[in-house]
Amino acid sequence: MWYTNTGKNGDIVLSSRVRLARNIKDIPFAGKMTEKDELTVLEKLKPVAEKNGLNFFSLKDFPLYEKQALAEQHIISPDMLDNSRHRGLIISPDNRTSIMLCEEDHIRIQCMQEGFDLEECLKNAVEIDNLIEEEIDYEFHQDLGYLTCCPSNLGTGMRASVMVHLPAHTKTGKINSVIRNFSQVGLTVRGLYGEGSKALGNIYQVSNQVTLGITEEEIIEKLTGFITELTENERKLQKELYDREKFVLEDKIMRSYGTLKNAVILSSSETLNLISDMRMGINLGIIKDITLGTLNEIFYAVLPANIIKKYNLESSAERDLKRAEIIKEKLK
Amino acid sequence: MWYTNTGKNGDIVLSSRVRLARNIKDIPFAGKMTEKDELTVLEKLKPVAEKNGLNFFSLKDFPLYEKQALAEQHIISPDMLDNSRHRGLIISPDNRTSIMLCEEDHIRIQCMQEGFDLEECLKNAVEIDNLIEEEIDYEFHQDLGYLTCCPSNLGTGMRASVMVHLPAHTKTGKINSVIRNFSQVGLTVRGLYGEGSKALGNIYQVSNQVTLGITEEEIIEKLTGFITELTENERKLQKELYDREKFVLEDKIMRSYGTLKNAVILSSSETLNLISDMRMGINLGIIKDITLGTLNEIFYAVLPANIIKKYNLESSAERDLKRAEIIKEKLK
């Protein structure tokens, strides 16, 4: 899968994502939609998907754990787990592009790339957007731009975000001033799984807050500037940490490596923290026999729903054993 | 060195030791000895040592860390570190037999064996005792037996002890009733480095308290009975622990293994605890690629004074780095 690749600035930036919110003309917005309206959205998009070589799924038919696995990989949002509405998912064969149907908005196009590459994400999202617009009329207002269910998405309807690994910012507490400063320029910093979630494994999502009165390109340019600086600072802080307490850091990182390779029981959150240490260890040249690609592979392979899906293990105790087994195998 | 061997019942019993306390006729006991008396003791024993192929040392000339290393290996007692008196050490080339001069008593003969073998220790100690007695008259009382500085050693002057590894007794708290019960039958249970020391690495010393009104053979027979039972119980408890929580125990043991193999900084006490887990892991068949012999080797190689002596590292931070390095090498 693409997300196991190491992209641009892949030492710090895990992945980039652009999401466009769109609604179909003359169909009520979420909250006012009937079941029939939901089905209409799905029916309208199904042929667009098929025409363009994308896979279409109605999520009513999907087992919960399959949807959880998709949510863990950020292919769908957690909202889509709720089965009380008819939801649809269109997805490209390589999983880089997905379209959520009847999420908060009728249509949410999402394009992802490994590493730091918002331009490519935007390019792909706009391409899909144009393909859909050839067949379907969007709700669009001359002054306000694309109309969305939540006013915070009005205008471009675009949210661009990057997933960054910031262990040194976290360890030194500097992440707090980053969160403050970014919020003052209209950028949001959140934990791994969106709002309110803790920064598991020192991974943060940075995204734009403002969508109105600014072009898509301007949003991405701004985000790119801040993320570039953040990435450079994180690298500098990691090196400083290493210079300041070389052996203490090596010890912590190598113990994490030893635990990942030898533990028999590994919870998901412990694993994310151990992987965080490993990632820093690879960046600093402390760990030489494992690549970032292998870490990325492990990162996704051991997410809970992914293990449920693949091994049919419902109990968390069984999953913790299987997780340790998978990791041992991958680190061999 | 002999102590890296695995002897009888070597899964639980690390080593056995017999110590005989003797004093020379017509020389005042410790506390009343002059410097000249101390030198006399040393002078009287030196030719006995030389005649029998044993090495003689005056400890006044010894660097402190050399003596600390000997104390760590139980070849001399910690009392011998004090340089305010003239002390002597006679030692066999294989280190199994040592004679401390001007410790609490004029002469303390000590014989050690790997594993559980008090008979062999006694046999060797008696042999040395006879060799000395050929040349030197002991203080001996018709009714009381050998006279010693402390009345607790009167009679046989013998203390027999075994060093046992009791992780399951410790974990289950059963060690407390063992300590109580043993004390009721005149046996003392202490931590690794004698009275008052904590049971570092779950290692305990069990020895006889009573020396009077009982023969050497009776002491050893009694100790042998209790240690045999203790050893069997420990094996049973280890298996029960494993049966009860297989994966939790495997996880703990394998994490300890991973830490020993990968850590960059290892303190002495952490190492002893990790080795304790490894030892249990080997006993239970969880760890298959490391032998008890290798563990015994590590156990002695990484004691603080031994590292100071070998690598001339005075700071504990440097020793903790070197310790981790030695262990990594031995576990390769």
pLDDT tens per residue across span B56-81: 999 988 888 889 989 988 899 988 99
Above 90 in pLDDT, residue A92? Answer: yes
- Smallest CA–CA distance from A266 into chain B, residue: B251
Across the interface, do B247 and A265 touch by the CB < 8 Å criterion? yes
- Smallest CA–CA distance from B286 into chain A, residue: A264
Please, which pLDDT band fits residue B323 given cuts at 50, 70 and 90? Answer: very high
Average pLDDT on B307-324 reads: 92
Tell me what pLDDT residue A199 has.
76
Tell me what pLDDT residue A25 has.
93
Tell me what pLDDT residue B15 has.
94
Tell me what pLDDT residue B37 has.
95
Contacts of B255 in chain A (CB under 8 A): 258-259, 262-263
Q: How far is B286 from chain A (nearest CA, A)?
A: 11
Contacts of B324 in chain A (CB under 8 A): 251
ipTM topping 0.95 = no
Q: Among B245, B250, B254, which would you mutate to test the A interface (most chain A Cβ atoms within 10 Å of its Cβ)?
A: B254
Q: Among A242, A251, A328, which would you mutate to test the B interface (most chain B Cβ atoms within 10 Å of its Cβ)?
A: A251
Q: Which of A240, A250, A315 is nearest to A285 (CA)?
A: A250
Above 90 in pLDDT, residue A62? Answer: no
Please give the structure tokens belonging to residue B264. Answer: 């960059």
According to the CATH classification, is domain A2-236 in 3.30.70.360? no
Tell me if residue A83 falls in helix, strand or coil: coil
Across the interface, do B264 and A247 touch by the CB < 8 Å criterion? yes
In chain A, what percentage of residues exceed pLDDT 90? Answer: 73
- Give residue-wise pLDDT tens across range B239-259: 999 999 999 999 999 999 999
Q: For B312, left (φ over 0), alpha (ψ -120 to 50), or beta? A: left
Average pLDDT on B188-210 reads: 81
In chain A, what percentage of residues exceed pLDDT 70? Answer: 98
- Give residue-wise pLDDT tens across range A170-227: 999 999 999 999 999 999 998 876 555 567 899 999 999 888 888 999 999 999 999 9
Please, which pLDDT band fits residue B213 given cuts at 50, 70 and 90? Answer: confident
Who's near A95: CB < 8 A, 6+ residues apart? A1, A2, A3, A73, A75, A112
Nearest-by-Cβ selection for B258 from A248, A263, A265: A263
Complete DSSP assignment for B115-173: SS-HHHHHHHHHHHHHHHHHHSPBPEETTTEE--SSGGGTBT-EEEEEEEE-HHHHHHT
- In a 13 Å sphere around the CA of A90, the CA atoms on its Cβ side amount to 26
Confidence (pTM): 0.89
Q: Which of A37, A15, A19, A16 is nearest to A28 (CA)?
A: A37
Q: How far is B268 from chain A (nearest CA, A)?
A: 15
- Measured distance CA(A309)–CA(A148) in Å, rounded: 34
Average pLDDT on A44-70 reads: 92
Interface of A with B (CB under 8 A): 247-248, 250-251, 254-255, 257-259, 261-265, 321, 324
Q: Which of B229, B220, B6 is nearest to B115 (CA)?
A: B6
Across the interface, do A255 and B262 touch by the CB < 8 Å criterion? yes
Across the interface, do B255 and A263 touch by the CB < 8 Å criterion? yes
Above 80 in pLDDT, residue A3? Answer: no
Please give the structure tokens belonging to residue A37. Answer: 């309206």
SS3 content of chain A, % helix, strand, coil (to 5): 50, 15, 30
Q: Among B246, B248, B251, which would you mutate to test the A interface (most chain A Cβ atoms within 10 Å of its Cβ)?
A: B251
Chains A, B: CB contacts under 8 A, how many?
Answer: 46
Average pLDDT on B176-200 reads: 82
Segment among A61-70, A224-233, B187-196 with least mean pLDDT: B187-196
Task: State the CB neighbour count (10 A cutoff) for residue B280.
Answer: 25
Average pLDDT, chain A: 92
- Domain segments of chain A: what residues? 2-236, 245-330
Above 60 in pLDDT, residue B196? Answer: no
Across the interface, do A251 and B263 touch by the CB < 8 Å criterion? yes
Q: For B160, left (φ over 0), alpha (ψ -120 to 50), or beta? A: beta
Above 70 in pLDDT, residue A104? Answer: yes
